[in-house]
Amino acid sequence: MSDDTLWGMWVRGEVEDLLDLPFEGMRIEIIGGQIVVSPAPTLGHAMILHDLALAVTTASMSDPDYPWVAAQGVNLCRETAGKSLIPDLVVLAGDALAAAGDADTFGLSPDEIEMVVEVSSPSNSEQDRPPKGGRRLAEPNKWSQCARVEVPYYLLVDRAPKEAKTTLYCIPDPSTGAYLHRESWDFGQTIQLPEPFNIEVETSRWRPWKK
């Protein structure tokens, strides 16, 4: 029997056909029970993701025992709840990514991911940040949804001109959909990601988005 739920349509790639989007490369996600469409990222956005992924890759190349790898364009899904996200970047154990690749799975489950990375854009920044007011429980966004499924770390690179900083969130509380601890670095400062990652990321080239 065909699954006619929004989740089933998303898995089969039918949501794209339903929306009839004018451009390729747009990201389609199910967040808070709604279809969220995001445009392809700018080069500034892509450069930041490159720098973060490169830091993880460099650490793994210099230490054969370093367990982590970074991957882009990976579905983070919780099939039982019919919800799914496509983070900008995920960091997970190399053997977990290899096993998922060998099985050609549709996506990764939350317990396979150590850190979700999001870089904010003008069109969808509110999806990436801690929700304001009482919206947290009523309409979970990416930040709160990752906390609800207990992704251990959530790294937000906020390119808004009034923010221009990177924040690492940890200690997820699934009952409230919130991260209980955070540490931030302004653009230009070197990010010091603590254990279990233990890497540094240079941010001197990072810039806010243009107004």
Instruction: Give the pLDDT of residue 82.
Output: 46
The whole-angstrom separation of Cα 70 and Cα 85 is 16
The whole-angstrom separation of Cα 185 and Cα 182 is 10
Instruction: Give the pLDDT of residue 99.
Output: 94
Q: Residues 209, 161: contact at Cβ < 8 Å?
A: yes
Instruction: Give the pLDDT of residue 105.
Output: 79
Q: Residues 149, 193: contact at Cβ < 8 Å?
A: no
Name the token pair of 45.
Answer: 């956005």
CA distances to 55, 119, 135, 142, 201 from 193, rounded to whole Å, are 10, 16, 29, 21, 8
The whole-angstrom separation of Cα 82 and Cα 11 is 10
Name the token pair of 137.
Answer: 């429980």
Q: Which residues of the chain are modeled with pLDDT < 70?
A: 1-41, 77-84, 133-139
Among all chains, which residue has been given the structure tokens 């794209």? 16
The set of residues, in sequence order, having a beta carbon less than 8 Å from that of 97 and lying 6+ positions away, is 69, 71, 108
Model pTM?
Answer: 0.80
Instruction: Give the pLDDT of residue 205.
Output: 95
The whole-angstrom separation of Cα 120 and Cα 206 is 13
